[in-house]
Amino acid sequence: MSKRIPYKNIKYYTFAENRDFILESGTAFGSITVAYETFGTLNEDKSNAILIFHALTGDSHVTSSYDDDNSTPGWWDSLVGRGKEVDTNKYFVICANLFGGCMGSSGPSSINPLTNKPYGSSFPFISVNDMVNVQKRLIDYLGIEQLQCVIGGSLGGMATISMMTNYPDIARSFIIIASAYKTSSQIMAFYEVGRNAILADPYYQNGDYYGKEYQPERGLGIARMVAHITYLSNKGMENKFGRMIQENVINEQLTYNRFGPMFAIESYLRHQSTKFIARFDANSYLYLTKAMDMYDLTQGGKKTLSSEFSKVNKKVLIISFTSDWHFTQADSWEMAKELASLGKDVSYINIESSYGHDSFLLPCKIQEGAIKNFLKNVGVYNETA
Amino acid sequence: MSKRIPYKNIKYYTFAENRDFILESGTAFGSITVAYETFGTLNEDKSNAILIFHALTGDSHVTSSYDDDNSTPGWWDSLVGRGKEVDTNKYFVICANLFGGCMGSSGPSSINPLTNKPYGSSFPFISVNDMVNVQKRLIDYLGIEQLQCVIGGSLGGMATISMMTNYPDIARSFIIIASAYKTSSQIMAFYEVGRNAILADPYYQNGDYYGKEYQPERGLGIARMVAHITYLSNKGMENKFGRMIQENVINEQLTYNRFGPMFAIESYLRHQSTKFIARFDANSYLYLTKAMDMYDLTQGGKKTLSSEFSKVNKKVLIISFTSDWHFTQADSWEMAKELASLGKDVSYINIESSYGHDSFLLPCKIQEGAIKNFLKNVGVYNETA
């Protein structure tokens, strides 16, 4: 019931066939399948591997460098690939679909091997730590003792924080981009609106809509629209759309087509929503956003940022963007400051940009240069050596 | 089909029975009913009247000072009433439900006298200028040549701007609060999400849901949730809710009740949504938000702020709030600056507040004092006279 996965080089690793994977909630679960792609060649001593976590709605296809015809763009083509700043001619890049997702890895739309039906509402609640524990199993399976780097933006940044604090020696370096160790009340509220739009859709059918005539597409579309606004910035939207009228709406229609697309921003959001519905699963959206909202490195104050970050013993790069109001520069600065005050080897870059949270996914010379330079100064690929 | 109006002192004025009210779109429409309340006594020379425009979801009940038992709070009780800063012992306050609304004035849920059925989808598109022209007719009907002041916040502020530029002599002063002469792309986008949530609700039935078994309540609820977030500020939400867990959700439920209310902010939004559904009409929400998004004093650049504001010849007070990101302090400042550069008698106050756009509706000594003082120095009620 998963959406068709268009990536021909995708691989699958399945484990915990005996239902012996213990989730953070205490529930035992299995089997678990991880859909992943690798790019480049793992060197002999397995020291050149980089793990990249995708964000909320991403997948394993981080680069199209290895596609025959480049027909399926990679979501981070600007940064990752042959000859790119994260150069797959040098590094062995691993990117896996997040546990709970809908692009090949086990998630609510996967077939439950015990029933031969999609999990739907029977899929258990999962956490960011669960997602990370699953990818740790993948790294073990690939026989990699220590990664060159773990990189992630947004939810992928949270996963990187989880990896860095739960498995501090898993990599020689960590890059956390446009992220935070917990979600703000405001952003949580917007995701809650999105979840409510899905839950309110009559075709949601308590999550067991797979194979039914109707799917909760409208609710999912609304959820995407509201989230998408939080990925842009006020200034960016003003620059790109302002109050521009959509060209194909002629004046005469303004009166009659009164709730149809009219302003360019309205048309754009509907377009984004339509594209998203075609590629994403409503249940995965519920599970992944809830896991993101729930993530809190300090566990609601039971622990402190200081106690958690004191576990870190490798190089860290933190990147934020000035106009990002989803995970703000203040969120990144708080982490960088804490790591620095603990005497950790942390670098922090706050990049001027009007593209909001989306900035980290867009071509950005400063980000690309910073990451390339950071990687050069970590471990095995020091070019001066 | 209107929701029950609980205000016993509400009055109705009906005009344009011959369908001769020309909307800004060119369409002739009628009849039109305005539901309004008045508070205090109109003096002999009819010089002490103040017109207050409500915001998007408000109504005529601006104060409960005249209720027998205060059972129905007024939406601006902190500012308006007997002995309040807008003192109804001195002023004759008029507040009418906006044209297109659902609290007594003509709107999509009203009965079309020609068919004896609710208008629904046959209600014409209306603009902010239309809303203002309707209230101008009410002022004429009440025999008032010149008001002491016109006051409005948010959409009511836009109506005040429309009144001030289309009828510059209708009042001796104008107070524009937490408003703008046009909506930003970002805020428009959030309202577009809300409208889409209503339009996507299967029970919307193309707007003709009155008297049907199901109403588009879920869509309307989603629309309210997303808008409500824009009425608060990030900091205000962090202070009030943060990542607080709702008290009645016990730990055991966290796993099972995974998409139910969990964080306090989630529970709060659902509560706001439920309250709103009980009092508001989905079609009115579509019409009024679209009119707000469409309002642009410069008509998309066909006119300039300068040319429009050059018509102003009375005292103006503009108030904004530092944490308001719906209509920002920059929006207010742009207007104040333009009026000042044109040599107009304008005062501008930017009030420090963490309550976001909602600030203007909350008790606020600075706002109340500024308005009282401003009114004192305009016309007939100079206390030193």
Question: By percentage, how much of chain B surpasses pLDDT 90?
Answer: 86
| Mean pLDDT value of segment B32-42 | 98
Q: Give the burial class of A296: count Cβ atoms within 10 A of its Cβ; 0-12 exposed, 13-18 middle, 19 or more buried.
A: middle
pLDDT (0 to 100) of residue A262: 79
In B152-171, the residues whose Cβ lies within 8 Å of chain A are: none
Instruction: Tell me the nearest-neighbour CA distance from A13 into chain B, angstroms.
Output: 27
Are A293 and A182 in contact by the 8 Å Cβ rule? The answer is no
- Is B249 in the A-facing interface, judged by CB distances under 8 Å? no
Q: Cα separations (Å) of B305 from A244, B156, B311?
A: 18, 19, 10
Closest approach of A223 to chain B, Cα-based (Å): 9
Tell me chain B's radius of gyration from C-alpha atoms.
21
Judge whether residue B2 has pLDDT over 80: no
Write down the pLDDT at residue A248: 61
Q: Which residues of B are catalytic?
A: 154, 324, 357
The rounded distance, in Å, linking the Cα atoms of B144 and B162 is 19
Amino acid, single-letter form, for residue A133: N
Residue B263 to residue A188, Cβ atoms within 8 A: yes
Indicate whether B133 pLDDT > 70: yes
Dist. CA B139–CA B315, nearest whole Å: 20
pLDDT confidence of residue A329: 98
Q: Is the peptide bond before A31 cis (omega within 30 degrees of 0)?
A: yes
Whether residue B56 has pLDDT greater than 50: yes
Spell out the residues 6+ positions from residue A278 whose beta carbon is closer than 8 angstroms to its own. Answer: A3
Predicted local distance difference test score (pLDDT) of residue A383:
47
**CA–CA separation, B95 vs A269, rounded Å?**
36
**Residue of chain A nearest B192, judged by CA positions:** A266
With a CB cutoff of 8 Å and minimum separation 6, the contacts of B373 are: none
Spatial CB neighbours of A64, under 8 Å, sequence gap ≥ 6: A70, A71, A72, A73, A74, A77, A81
Which of A294-303's residues contact partners 24+ apart within 8 Å by CB, and which partners?
A: A294/A127, A294/A128, A295/A127, A295/A128, A295/A129, A295/A158, A295/A162, A295/A181, A295/A182, A295/A183, A296/A181, A296/A182, A296/B243, A297/A161, A297/A162, A297/A165, A297/A181, A297/A182, A298/A181, A298/A182, A300/B243, A300/B245
Encoding tokens for residue A74?
A: 């990679």
Mean pLDDT of B129-151: 98
Instruction: Dig out the tokens for A277 from the structure.
Output: 């519905």
Q: Give the list of residues 6+ apart from residue B261 with CB closer than 8 angstroms, or none.
A: B246, B249, B267, B270
* Contact at CB, B290 and A266, closer than 8 angstroms: no
Q: How many alpha carbons lie under 13 Å from residue B301 in its C-beta half-sphere?
A: 4
Q: How far is CA A295 from CA A114, A298, B234, in A?
A: 30, 9, 19
Chain B contact set for A245 (CB, 8 A): 300
pTM over 0.90: yes
Pairwise CB contact (< 8 Å): A325 & B269: no
Which stretches in chain A have pLDDT values below 50? Answer: 1-2, 250-256, 382-385
Cβ-contact B133, B175 below 8 angstroms: no
ipTM: 0.92
The answer to whether A55 and A178 have CB atoms below 8 angstroms apart is no
Exposed, middle or buried: residue A67 (CB in 10 Å: 0-12, 13-18, 19+)? middle
Query: Cα–Cα distance between B208 and A93 in angstroms, integer?
Result: 55
Partner-chain contact A188 B243, CB within 8 Å:
yes
A193–B266 CB contact, under 8 Å: no
- CA distances (Å), origin B110, targets B43, B263, B351: 34, 39, 39
Are B221 and A196 inside 8 Å of each other by CB?
yes
Rounded CA-CA distance A108/A291 in Å is: 14
* B197: nearest CB among A197, A240, A254: A197
- Predicted confidence at residue A246, as pLDDT, reads 77
* Cβ–Cβ contact B132 with A under 8 A: no
Question: What is the C-alpha to C-alpha distance for residues B143 and B60, in angstroms, rounded to an integer?
Answer: 19
**Chain A interface, best mutation among B123, B193, B241, by max A CB count within 10 A:** B193
Question: Does an H or E element contain A231, and which?
Answer: helix A217-231
pLDDT of residue A347: 97
What is the C-alpha radius of gyration for chain A, rounded to an integer number of angstroms? Answer: 21
Give me the mean pLDDT over the B10-25 stretch. 96
B182 touches chain A (CB under 8 A): yes
As a whole number of angstroms, the distance between CA A138 and CA A292 comes to: 21
Q: Per-residue pLDDT averaged across B132-146, rounded?
A: 98
Q: Report the share of chain B in percent with pLDDT over 70.
A: 93
Q: For residue B226, which residues of chain A lie inside 8 Å, CB to CB? A: 190, 193, 226
pLDDT digits 0-9 by tens, B292-341: 999 999 998 999 999 999 999 999 999 999 999 999 999 999 999 999 99
Predicted pLDDT at B1: 40
- Are the beta carbons of B237 and A189 separated by less than 8 Å? yes
Q: Which residues of B touch A330 (CB under 8 A)?
A: none
The helix, strand and coil proportions of chain B, stated in percent and rounded to the nearest 5, come to 40, 15, 45
Residue that the structure tokens 């963007």 belong to? A321
Please judge whether B266 and A200 are an interchain contact, meaning their C-beta atoms are less than 8 angstroms apart: no
Predicted local distance difference test score (pLDDT) of residue A263: 87
Amino acid identity of residue A332, one-letter, is S
User: Does A357 participate in catalysis according to the annotation?
Assistant: yes
Q: Are B199 and A259 within 8 A, CB to CB? A: yes
| Residues in chain A within 8 Å Cβ distance of B296 | 243
φ, ψ (nearest 5 deg) of residue A136: -60, -40
Using CA of residue B56, residue B59, residue B62, residue B64, what is the dihedral sign?
negative
Residues of A in contact with B124 (CB under 8 A): 255
Q: Does A300 touch chain B (CB under 8 A)?
A: yes
Q: Which one of A29, A126, A196, A326 makes the best mutation probe of the B interface by having the most chain B beta carbons within 10 Å? A: A196
**CB A192 to CB B266 under 8 A?**
yes
Nearest residue to B141 (alpha-carbon basis) of B49, B75, B56: B49
Q: Tell me how far apart the alpha carbons of residues B210 and B216 are, in angstroms, rounded to a whole number.
A: 10
Euclidean distance between CA atoms A240 and A111, whole angstroms = 42
Which of B 253-272 lie inside 8 A of A, CB atoms? 254-256, 258-259, 263, 265-266, 269-270
Residue of B243, B277, B293, B294 to mutate, interface with A, max A Cβ within 10 Å: B243
* B300 to A243: CB separation less than 8 angstroms, yes or no: yes
Q: Is residue A283 left, alpha or beta, with left meaning phi > 0 and alpha meaning psi from -120 to 50?
A: alpha
The answer to whether residue A245 neighbours chain B at the CB level (below 8 Å) is: yes
> B305 at the A interface (CB within 8 A)?
no
Q: Distance between alpha carbon A106 and the CA centroid of its chain, in Å?
A: 16
Is the per-residue pLDDT at B361 higher than 70? yes
Cα dihedral across residues A299, A301, A305, A307: positive or negative: negative
Q: How far apart are CA B37 and CA B371, in angstroms?
A: 21
- Does B208 touch chain A if contact means CB atoms closer than 8 Å? no
Residues of B in contact with A242 (CB under 8 A): 185
Residue B256's pLDDT band (boundaries 50, 70, 90)?
very low
Q: Kindly report, residue by residue over B180-237, the tens digit of the pLDDT.
A: 999 999 999 999 999 999 999 999 999 999 999 999 999 999 999 999 999 999 999 9
Cβ–Cβ contact B223 with A under 8 A: no
Of the candidates B95, B233, B102, the residue with the CA atom closest to the CA atom of residue B153: B95
**The pLDDT value given to residue B249:** 55
A54 catalytic, yes or no? no
Q: What is the pLDDT of residue B8?
A: 87
A189, A259, A269 ranked by CB distance to B189: nearest: A269
* Whole-angstrom distance, CA of residue A324 vs CA of residue B361: 29
